[in-house]
Amino acid sequence: MKHKTTSNILVLGGGVAGIAASVKLASAGYRVTLLEKGPRLGGRAYSFYDAAAGEWVDNCQHILMGCCEALKELYRLSGSEDKITWQDTYYFFYPNKGFQTLKSSCLPAPFQLLPSFLKLDALSFWDRINITQLMSSILCQDPEVHPEWATLSIKEWFESQGVSRESMRLFWEPVLVSALNDSIDQLPVSYVFKTIRWGFLGREGAWKMGIPLVSFHHLYHEQTLNYLTKRNSLVRLKEGVKKLVIQNNRIAGVLLSDGSYLEADTVISALPQDKLVPLLDADSCIKKNISHYKLSPIMGIHLWLDRRIMELPNLCLPGNFIQWIFDKTPGEAVSKASSQYLSIVISASQEIMHLPQKEIIDTTLQELKKVFPAAQEACMVHSLIIREPRATFKLMELQDSYRLGPVSGITGLYLAGDWTDTGWPATMESAALSGFAAARQVINREPF
Protein backbone atom coordinates (compact mmCIF):
# COMPACT_ATOMS: atom_id res chain seq x y z
CA MET A 1 0.00 0.00 0.00
CA LYS A 2 1.31 3.45 -0.89
CA HIS A 3 1.63 5.66 2.18
CA LYS A 4 0.23 9.18 2.08
CA THR A 5 2.84 11.48 3.59
CA THR A 6 1.77 14.98 2.61
CA SER A 7 0.78 15.88 6.17
CA ASN A 8 1.92 15.16 9.72
CA ILE A 9 -0.94 13.44 11.55
CA LEU A 10 -0.84 13.22 15.33
CA VAL A 11 -3.38 11.30 17.39
CA LEU A 12 -3.42 12.22 21.07
CA GLY A 13 -4.51 9.52 23.50
CA GLY A 14 -4.19 5.76 23.15
CA GLY A 15 -7.62 4.75 24.40
CA VAL A 16 -10.23 3.07 22.21
CA ALA A 17 -11.03 6.36 20.41
CA GLY A 18 -7.37 7.06 19.61
CA ILE A 19 -6.79 3.47 18.58
CA ALA A 20 -9.82 3.54 16.26
CA ALA A 21 -8.72 6.81 14.63
CA SER A 22 -5.15 5.58 14.17
CA VAL A 23 -6.13 2.17 12.81
CA LYS A 24 -8.66 3.69 10.41
CA LEU A 25 -6.14 6.18 9.06
CA ALA A 26 -3.38 3.58 8.79
CA SER A 27 -5.75 1.23 6.95
CA ALA A 28 -6.31 4.03 4.42
CA GLY A 29 -2.57 4.42 3.90
CA TYR A 30 -1.79 7.37 6.17
CA ARG A 31 1.25 7.58 8.39
CA VAL A 32 0.15 8.33 11.93
CA THR A 33 1.97 9.15 15.15
CA LEU A 34 -0.04 8.05 18.17
CA LEU A 35 0.96 9.70 21.46
CA GLU A 36 -0.01 8.07 24.76
CA LYS A 37 0.91 9.46 28.17
CA GLY A 38 0.86 6.06 29.87
CA PRO A 39 3.08 3.00 29.42
CA ARG A 40 0.58 1.11 27.26
CA LEU A 41 -2.45 1.55 25.04
CA GLY A 42 -6.08 0.96 26.01
CA GLY A 43 -7.02 4.07 27.98
CA ARG A 44 -9.75 3.24 30.47
CA ALA A 45 -9.82 -0.33 29.14
CA TYR A 46 -6.38 -1.23 30.45
CA SER A 47 -4.55 -4.21 31.92
CA PHE A 48 -1.72 -4.51 34.40
CA TYR A 49 0.45 -7.49 35.23
CA ASP A 50 -0.32 -8.85 38.70
CA ALA A 51 2.59 -10.88 40.02
CA ALA A 52 0.53 -12.59 42.72
CA ALA A 53 -1.97 -13.85 40.14
CA GLY A 54 0.73 -14.48 37.55
CA GLU A 55 -1.32 -12.95 34.73
CA TRP A 56 -2.48 -9.76 33.04
CA VAL A 57 -5.54 -8.39 34.85
CA ASP A 58 -8.07 -6.07 33.20
CA ASN A 59 -9.10 -3.12 35.33
CA CYS A 60 -12.77 -4.10 34.96
CA GLN A 61 -14.84 -6.45 32.83
CA HIS A 62 -15.87 -4.52 29.73
CA ILE A 63 -18.26 -6.14 27.29
CA LEU A 64 -19.69 -5.28 23.91
CA MET A 65 -22.98 -6.25 22.38
CA GLY A 66 -23.84 -7.49 18.93
CA CYS A 67 -25.15 -4.03 18.07
CA CYS A 68 -21.68 -2.47 18.58
CA GLU A 69 -20.78 -2.29 14.90
CA ALA A 70 -17.90 0.18 15.24
CA LEU A 71 -16.10 -1.91 17.86
CA LYS A 72 -16.54 -5.02 15.72
CA GLU A 73 -15.11 -3.13 12.75
CA LEU A 74 -12.12 -2.04 14.85
CA TYR A 75 -11.45 -5.64 15.87
CA ARG A 76 -11.78 -6.74 12.24
CA LEU A 77 -9.30 -4.13 11.03
CA SER A 78 -6.76 -4.86 13.76
CA GLY A 79 -7.05 -8.63 13.36
CA SER A 80 -8.72 -9.21 16.74
CA GLU A 81 -12.06 -10.59 15.59
CA ASP A 82 -11.22 -14.07 16.80
CA LYS A 83 -10.32 -12.71 20.27
CA ILE A 84 -14.01 -12.16 21.14
CA THR A 85 -16.39 -14.89 22.29
CA TRP A 86 -20.12 -14.34 21.94
CA GLN A 87 -22.63 -15.42 24.58
CA ASP A 88 -26.33 -15.63 23.75
CA THR A 89 -27.61 -16.20 27.28
CA TYR A 90 -27.71 -13.81 30.21
CA TYR A 91 -28.05 -15.50 33.60
CA PHE A 92 -29.82 -14.03 36.63
CA PHE A 93 -30.12 -15.23 40.22
CA TYR A 94 -33.16 -14.48 42.39
CA PRO A 95 -33.23 -15.79 45.98
CA ASN A 96 -36.89 -16.79 45.72
CA LYS A 97 -36.61 -18.47 42.31
CA GLY A 98 -32.97 -19.43 41.80
CA PHE A 99 -31.26 -19.16 38.43
CA GLN A 100 -33.16 -17.75 35.46
CA THR A 101 -32.16 -16.83 31.93
CA LEU A 102 -32.76 -14.35 29.17
CA LYS A 103 -31.87 -15.66 25.73
CA SER A 104 -32.84 -15.22 22.11
CA SER A 105 -35.51 -17.38 20.53
CA CYS A 106 -36.23 -18.31 16.93
CA LEU A 107 -38.68 -15.41 16.65
CA PRO A 108 -37.64 -12.53 14.38
CA ALA A 109 -36.63 -9.11 15.72
CA PRO A 110 -37.94 -7.34 17.69
CA PHE A 111 -39.66 -10.35 19.31
CA GLN A 112 -36.57 -12.52 19.83
CA LEU A 113 -36.53 -12.08 23.63
CA LEU A 114 -40.29 -12.25 24.20
CA PRO A 115 -40.41 -15.94 25.30
CA SER A 116 -37.65 -15.30 27.84
CA PHE A 117 -39.39 -12.27 29.30
CA LEU A 118 -42.61 -14.22 29.74
CA LYS A 119 -40.76 -17.04 31.55
CA LEU A 120 -38.96 -14.71 33.98
CA ASP A 121 -41.16 -15.82 36.87
CA ALA A 122 -39.11 -14.07 39.55
CA LEU A 123 -41.37 -11.21 38.46
CA SER A 124 -45.11 -11.31 38.79
CA PHE A 125 -47.18 -12.16 35.74
CA TRP A 126 -48.38 -8.56 35.47
CA ASP A 127 -44.83 -7.21 35.74
CA ARG A 128 -43.82 -9.42 32.84
CA ILE A 129 -46.77 -8.20 30.78
CA ASN A 130 -45.83 -4.64 31.70
CA ILE A 131 -42.25 -5.19 30.49
CA THR A 132 -43.44 -6.41 27.10
CA GLN A 133 -45.80 -3.43 26.82
CA LEU A 134 -42.99 -1.05 27.69
CA MET A 135 -40.75 -2.62 25.06
CA SER A 136 -43.48 -1.97 22.50
CA SER A 137 -43.80 1.65 23.64
CA ILE A 138 -40.04 2.17 23.49
CA LEU A 139 -39.94 0.73 20.00
CA CYS A 140 -42.81 2.86 18.69
CA GLN A 141 -42.36 6.19 20.48
CA ASP A 142 -39.76 8.85 19.73
CA PRO A 143 -38.60 10.94 22.73
CA GLU A 144 -37.80 13.83 20.38
CA VAL A 145 -41.51 14.41 19.70
CA HIS A 146 -42.13 14.56 23.46
CA PRO A 147 -40.36 17.73 24.65
CA GLU A 148 -41.86 17.18 28.10
CA TRP A 149 -39.57 14.14 28.44
CA ALA A 150 -36.39 16.16 27.96
CA THR A 151 -35.77 16.62 31.69
CA LEU A 152 -37.49 13.39 32.73
CA SER A 153 -35.50 10.52 34.23
CA ILE A 154 -36.32 7.00 33.13
CA LYS A 155 -37.43 6.24 36.69
CA GLU A 156 -40.03 9.01 36.46
CA TRP A 157 -41.13 7.74 33.07
CA PHE A 158 -41.42 4.18 34.41
CA GLU A 159 -43.56 5.42 37.29
CA SER A 160 -45.83 7.23 34.83
CA GLN A 161 -46.22 3.93 32.97
CA GLY A 162 -47.22 1.96 36.05
CA VAL A 163 -43.96 0.05 36.49
CA SER A 164 -43.81 -1.56 39.93
CA ARG A 165 -40.93 -1.06 42.35
CA GLU A 166 -40.14 -4.78 42.16
CA SER A 167 -39.92 -4.66 38.39
CA MET A 168 -37.55 -1.71 38.58
CA ARG A 169 -35.41 -3.35 41.26
CA LEU A 170 -35.30 -6.84 39.82
CA PHE A 171 -35.15 -6.14 36.09
CA TRP A 172 -34.77 -2.57 34.87
CA GLU A 173 -32.11 -1.44 37.35
CA PRO A 174 -29.73 -4.40 36.77
CA VAL A 175 -29.96 -3.96 33.00
CA LEU A 176 -29.80 -0.18 32.74
CA VAL A 177 -27.36 0.65 35.55
CA SER A 178 -24.80 -1.79 34.13
CA ALA A 179 -25.32 -0.53 30.57
CA LEU A 180 -25.29 3.21 31.30
CA ASN A 181 -23.36 3.42 34.60
CA ASP A 182 -25.79 5.54 36.58
CA SER A 183 -28.83 5.08 38.80
CA ILE A 184 -32.18 5.04 37.01
CA ASP A 185 -33.19 8.36 38.59
CA GLN A 186 -30.19 9.88 36.78
CA LEU A 187 -30.73 8.33 33.34
CA PRO A 188 -32.54 10.39 30.66
CA VAL A 189 -35.40 8.81 28.75
CA SER A 190 -33.79 9.38 25.34
CA TYR A 191 -30.62 7.35 26.00
CA VAL A 192 -32.50 4.53 27.69
CA PHE A 193 -34.79 4.28 24.66
CA LYS A 194 -31.76 4.10 22.35
CA THR A 195 -30.09 1.44 24.49
CA ILE A 196 -33.19 -0.76 24.62
CA ARG A 197 -33.86 -0.37 20.89
CA TRP A 198 -30.31 -1.18 19.84
CA GLY A 199 -29.65 -3.98 22.33
CA PHE A 200 -32.97 -5.63 23.18
CA LEU A 201 -35.06 -4.92 20.11
CA GLY A 202 -32.45 -4.65 17.37
CA ARG A 203 -31.64 -7.01 14.58
CA GLU A 204 -30.78 -10.66 15.12
CA GLY A 205 -27.61 -11.00 17.18
CA ALA A 206 -27.76 -7.44 18.58
CA TRP A 207 -28.48 -8.86 22.04
CA LYS A 208 -25.42 -11.11 22.21
CA MET A 209 -22.74 -10.33 24.77
CA GLY A 210 -19.17 -10.14 23.48
CA ILE A 211 -16.42 -11.02 25.97
CA PRO A 212 -12.70 -10.70 25.14
CA LEU A 213 -10.82 -14.00 25.31
CA VAL A 214 -7.56 -12.17 25.98
CA SER A 215 -6.52 -9.33 28.24
CA PHE A 216 -6.86 -5.70 27.16
CA HIS A 217 -3.07 -5.64 27.07
CA HIS A 218 -3.21 -8.04 24.16
CA LEU A 219 -6.49 -6.85 22.61
CA TYR A 220 -5.64 -3.16 22.50
CA HIS A 221 -1.97 -2.64 23.30
CA GLU A 222 -0.18 -5.45 21.46
CA GLN A 223 -2.60 -5.72 18.54
CA THR A 224 -2.54 -1.97 17.87
CA LEU A 225 1.25 -1.75 18.17
CA ASN A 226 1.66 -4.56 15.67
CA TYR A 227 -0.93 -3.16 13.27
CA LEU A 228 0.44 0.40 13.20
CA THR A 229 4.10 -0.63 13.09
CA LYS A 230 3.48 -2.81 10.04
CA ARG A 231 1.89 0.18 8.29
CA ASN A 232 4.79 2.55 8.83
CA SER A 233 3.06 4.43 11.66
CA LEU A 234 4.49 5.21 15.05
CA VAL A 235 3.34 4.73 18.65
CA ARG A 236 5.09 6.87 21.26
CA LEU A 237 4.36 5.77 24.83
CA LYS A 238 4.97 7.84 27.97
CA GLU A 239 4.56 10.98 25.85
CA GLY A 240 2.28 13.45 27.57
CA VAL A 241 1.01 16.57 25.81
CA LYS A 242 1.23 19.88 27.66
CA LYS A 243 -0.34 22.25 25.15
CA LEU A 244 -2.00 22.44 21.76
CA VAL A 245 -0.22 25.04 19.66
CA ILE A 246 -2.76 27.02 17.67
CA GLN A 247 -1.85 29.88 15.33
CA ASN A 248 -4.45 31.98 13.50
CA ASN A 249 -7.13 29.43 14.40
CA ARG A 250 -5.11 26.64 12.81
CA ILE A 251 -3.36 23.77 14.55
CA ALA A 252 0.41 24.03 14.27
CA GLY A 253 1.57 21.27 16.58
CA VAL A 254 1.77 20.17 20.21
CA LEU A 255 4.07 20.98 23.08
CA LEU A 256 5.05 17.82 24.95
CA SER A 257 5.45 17.45 28.71
CA ASP A 258 9.22 17.28 28.40
CA GLY A 259 9.26 20.68 26.67
CA SER A 260 9.86 19.41 23.14
CA TYR A 261 7.66 20.43 20.24
CA LEU A 262 6.07 18.34 17.52
CA GLU A 263 4.92 20.14 14.38
CA ALA A 264 1.69 18.88 12.84
CA ASP A 265 -0.95 20.29 10.52
CA THR A 266 -3.45 17.59 11.53
CA VAL A 267 -4.18 16.59 15.13
CA ILE A 268 -6.92 14.29 16.41
CA SER A 269 -7.46 14.73 20.12
CA ALA A 270 -8.81 11.43 21.45
CA LEU A 271 -8.27 12.46 25.06
CA PRO A 272 -10.95 12.22 27.75
CA GLN A 273 -12.77 15.52 28.06
CA ASP A 274 -11.18 16.41 31.41
CA LYS A 275 -7.69 15.70 30.03
CA LEU A 276 -8.27 17.94 27.01
CA VAL A 277 -9.24 21.00 29.06
CA PRO A 278 -5.72 21.91 30.32
CA LEU A 279 -4.40 21.88 26.74
CA LEU A 280 -6.84 24.58 25.59
CA ASP A 281 -6.80 28.36 25.85
CA ALA A 282 -8.96 29.86 28.58
CA ASP A 283 -11.47 31.33 26.14
CA SER A 284 -11.88 28.16 24.09
CA CYS A 285 -15.47 27.28 23.16
CA ILE A 286 -14.48 23.62 23.45
CA LYS A 287 -13.53 24.15 27.08
CA LYS A 288 -16.86 25.86 27.81
CA ASN A 289 -18.81 22.88 26.48
CA ILE A 290 -16.69 20.38 28.40
CA SER A 291 -17.38 22.21 31.67
CA HIS A 292 -20.91 20.73 31.64
CA TYR A 293 -19.68 17.13 32.02
CA LYS A 294 -19.95 15.27 35.33
CA LEU A 295 -18.48 11.84 35.97
CA SER A 296 -19.69 8.50 37.32
CA PRO A 297 -17.53 5.71 38.85
CA ILE A 298 -17.21 1.95 38.34
CA MET A 299 -15.64 -0.61 40.66
CA GLY A 300 -14.04 -3.87 39.59
CA ILE A 301 -13.54 -6.64 42.16
CA HIS A 302 -11.21 -9.52 41.27
CA LEU A 303 -11.24 -12.76 43.22
CA TRP A 304 -9.06 -15.83 42.83
CA LEU A 305 -10.50 -18.88 44.61
CA ASP A 306 -8.97 -22.29 45.32
CA ARG A 307 -11.89 -24.10 43.62
CA ARG A 308 -14.65 -23.55 41.13
CA ILE A 309 -17.89 -22.24 42.58
CA MET A 310 -19.71 -20.92 39.46
CA GLU A 311 -20.32 -22.97 36.32
CA LEU A 312 -21.85 -20.08 34.36
CA PRO A 313 -19.99 -17.64 32.07
CA ASN A 314 -21.89 -14.64 33.48
CA LEU A 315 -24.37 -13.96 36.26
CA CYS A 316 -26.42 -10.94 37.35
CA LEU A 317 -27.53 -10.61 40.99
CA PRO A 318 -30.45 -8.13 40.95
CA GLY A 319 -31.01 -6.17 44.13
CA ASN A 320 -27.63 -7.12 45.62
CA PHE A 321 -24.29 -5.50 46.41
CA ILE A 322 -22.77 -7.50 43.55
CA GLN A 323 -24.25 -6.59 40.16
CA TRP A 324 -22.49 -8.86 37.62
CA ILE A 325 -20.03 -11.73 37.89
CA PHE A 326 -17.91 -13.08 35.03
CA ASP A 327 -15.84 -16.25 34.98
CA LYS A 328 -12.38 -15.15 33.84
CA THR A 329 -10.62 -18.44 34.50
CA PRO A 330 -8.24 -19.31 31.66
CA GLY A 331 -9.47 -22.17 29.48
CA GLU A 332 -6.91 -24.70 30.63
CA ALA A 333 -7.84 -24.13 34.29
CA VAL A 334 -11.53 -24.55 33.51
CA SER A 335 -10.90 -27.95 31.94
CA LYS A 336 -9.05 -29.10 35.05
CA ALA A 337 -11.82 -27.73 37.34
CA SER A 338 -9.13 -26.73 39.85
CA SER A 339 -9.53 -23.05 40.69
CA GLN A 340 -11.47 -20.01 39.56
CA TYR A 341 -10.89 -16.35 38.80
CA LEU A 342 -14.02 -14.21 39.05
CA SER A 343 -14.37 -10.63 37.84
CA ILE A 344 -17.16 -8.71 39.58
CA VAL A 345 -18.53 -5.39 38.37
CA ILE A 346 -20.35 -2.74 40.36
CA SER A 347 -21.49 0.15 38.17
CA ALA A 348 -22.52 3.60 39.43
CA SER A 349 -20.58 2.77 42.58
CA GLN A 350 -20.62 6.24 44.16
CA GLU A 351 -21.90 5.02 47.51
CA ILE A 352 -19.21 2.38 48.05
CA MET A 353 -16.11 4.00 46.53
CA HIS A 354 -14.92 5.12 49.97
CA LEU A 355 -15.35 1.75 51.70
CA PRO A 356 -12.19 -0.08 52.85
CA GLN A 357 -11.06 -3.07 50.84
CA LYS A 358 -11.74 -5.59 53.61
CA GLU A 359 -15.37 -4.52 53.95
CA ILE A 360 -15.93 -4.75 50.20
CA ILE A 361 -14.31 -8.18 49.93
CA ASP A 362 -16.16 -9.53 53.01
CA THR A 363 -19.52 -8.36 51.64
CA THR A 364 -18.74 -9.86 48.25
CA LEU A 365 -17.80 -13.25 49.73
CA GLN A 366 -20.93 -13.31 51.87
CA GLU A 367 -23.12 -12.77 48.82
CA LEU A 368 -21.29 -15.45 46.84
CA LYS A 369 -21.95 -17.94 49.65
CA LYS A 370 -25.68 -17.21 49.44
CA VAL A 371 -25.72 -18.03 45.74
CA PHE A 372 -23.19 -20.86 45.34
CA PRO A 373 -23.07 -23.80 47.78
CA ALA A 374 -19.45 -24.51 46.81
CA ALA A 375 -18.47 -21.03 48.03
CA GLN A 376 -19.03 -22.18 51.63
CA GLU A 377 -15.85 -24.27 51.50
CA ALA A 378 -13.86 -22.13 49.07
CA CYS A 379 -10.80 -20.21 50.17
CA MET A 380 -9.82 -16.90 48.63
CA VAL A 381 -6.28 -17.09 47.29
CA HIS A 382 -5.96 -13.50 46.11
CA SER A 383 -8.09 -10.39 45.62
CA LEU A 384 -7.90 -6.96 44.01
CA ILE A 385 -10.21 -3.97 43.94
CA ILE A 386 -9.93 -1.45 41.12
CA ARG A 387 -11.76 1.83 41.70
CA GLU A 388 -12.37 3.95 38.61
CA PRO A 389 -13.83 7.26 39.90
CA ARG A 390 -13.89 8.87 36.43
CA ALA A 391 -15.14 5.94 34.39
CA THR A 392 -17.91 7.56 32.32
CA PHE A 393 -19.79 10.83 32.05
CA LYS A 394 -23.27 11.31 33.47
CA LEU A 395 -26.03 11.71 30.90
CA MET A 396 -28.68 13.52 32.94
CA GLU A 397 -28.72 17.30 32.46
CA LEU A 398 -26.09 17.02 29.72
CA GLN A 399 -27.74 18.55 26.68
CA ASP A 400 -26.80 16.93 23.39
CA SER A 401 -25.74 20.37 22.16
CA TYR A 402 -22.82 20.24 24.62
CA ARG A 403 -21.46 17.11 22.93
CA LEU A 404 -19.16 18.29 20.14
CA GLY A 405 -18.69 16.57 16.82
CA PRO A 406 -15.35 15.66 15.23
CA VAL A 407 -14.87 19.11 13.65
CA SER A 408 -13.55 21.43 16.35
CA GLY A 409 -13.81 24.80 14.63
CA ILE A 410 -10.02 25.01 14.58
CA THR A 411 -8.51 24.10 11.22
CA GLY A 412 -6.68 20.79 11.39
CA LEU A 413 -7.90 19.90 14.89
CA TYR A 414 -10.42 17.08 15.22
CA LEU A 415 -12.09 15.64 18.29
CA ALA A 416 -12.72 12.04 19.29
CA GLY A 417 -13.69 10.29 22.49
CA ASP A 418 -16.76 8.63 23.96
CA TRP A 419 -17.83 12.08 25.22
CA THR A 420 -18.22 13.53 21.72
CA ASP A 421 -21.46 13.60 19.75
CA THR A 422 -21.85 10.00 18.59
CA GLY A 423 -25.48 9.50 19.62
CA TRP A 424 -24.31 6.80 22.03
CA PRO A 425 -23.79 6.97 25.81
CA ALA A 426 -20.29 6.74 27.27
CA THR A 427 -19.27 3.30 26.00
CA MET A 428 -16.42 1.72 24.08
CA GLU A 429 -18.75 1.72 21.07
CA SER A 430 -19.08 5.49 21.35
CA ALA A 431 -15.29 5.77 21.57
CA ALA A 432 -14.76 3.64 18.46
CA LEU A 433 -17.47 5.54 16.55
CA SER A 434 -15.84 8.85 17.43
CA GLY A 435 -12.38 7.69 16.34
CA PHE A 436 -13.70 6.51 12.99
CA ALA A 437 -15.65 9.77 12.54
CA ALA A 438 -12.56 11.89 13.18
CA ALA A 439 -10.48 9.74 10.81
CA ARG A 440 -13.11 10.11 8.07
CA GLN A 441 -12.93 13.88 8.42
CA VAL A 442 -9.19 13.75 7.85
CA ILE A 443 -9.51 11.37 4.89
CA ASN A 444 -12.29 13.40 3.26
CA ARG A 445 -10.39 16.62 3.75
CA GLU A 446 -7.20 15.42 2.11
CA PRO A 447 -6.94 16.02 -1.66
CA PHE A 448 -6.16 12.43 -2.59
As for how many domains the chain has, the answer is 3
Cα–Cα distances in angstroms (integers) from residue 131 to residues 135, 137, 165, in the given order: 6, 10, 13
Of 169-178, 199-208, 317-326, 334-343, least confident by mean pLDDT is 334-343
287 and 403 fall within a common domain: yes
Confidence of residue 332 (pLDDT cuts 50, 70, 90): low
405 and 371 fall within a common domain: no
Query: Of 354, 377, 393, which one is at a domain's C-terminal end?
Result: 393
Give a yes or no: residue 98 inside a domain: no
190 and 222 fall within a common domain: no
222 and 277 fall within a common domain: yes
Give a yes or no: residue 82 inside a domain: no
317 and 346 fall within a common domain: yes
Give the Cα separation of 265 and 137 in Å (integer): 49
Average pLDDT over residues 332-350: 82
17 and 156 fall within a common domain: no
377 and 403 fall within a common domain: no
| Count of Cβ atoms closer than 10 Å to residue 32 Cβ | 25
At residue 447, the pLDDT reads 45
Confidence of residue 347 (pLDDT cuts 50, 70, 90): very high
Confidence of residue 214 (pLDDT cuts 50, 70, 90): very high
Of 154-168, 281-295, 306-320, 422-436, least confident by mean pLDDT is 281-295
Q: pLDDT by residue (tens digit) across 294-304?
A: 999 999 999 99
At residue 2, the pLDDT reads 42
Q: pLDDT by residue (tens digit) across 15-34?
A: 999 999 999 999 999 999 99
Q: What is the CATH number of the domain that holds 39?
A: 3.50.50.60
Residue 11: CA count within 13 A, CB half-sphere: 36
Q: Give me Rg for the CA atoms of the chain.
A: 23
Where does 284-330 have alpha helices with state H?
Answer: 285-290
379 and 411 fall within a common domain: no
Give the Cα separation of 291 and 65 in Å (integer): 30
At residue 183, the pLDDT reads 96
Q: pLDDT by residue (tens digit) across 83-129?
A: 999 999 999 999 989 999 999 899 998 999 999 989 999 999 999 99
287 and 339 fall within a common domain: no
264 DSSP β-pair partners: none
Give a yes or no: residue 12 inside a domain: yes
Give a yes or no: residue 342 inside a domain: yes
At residue 16, the pLDDT reads 98
Which range marks the domain in which residue 309 is found? 295-393
Give the Cα separation of 289 and 256 in Å (integer): 24
202 and 137 fall within a common domain: yes
Query: Of 156, 180, 206, which one is at a domain's C-terminal end?
Result: 206
Query: Of 182, 206, 230, which one is at a domain's C-terminal end?
Result: 206
Give the Cα separation of 234 and 239 in Å (integer): 12
286 and 374 fall within a common domain: no
Three-state DSSP at 147 gives: helix
The model carries a pTM of 0.94
Q: In what order do the strands lie in the sheet with 261-263?
A: 241-247, 250-256, 261-263
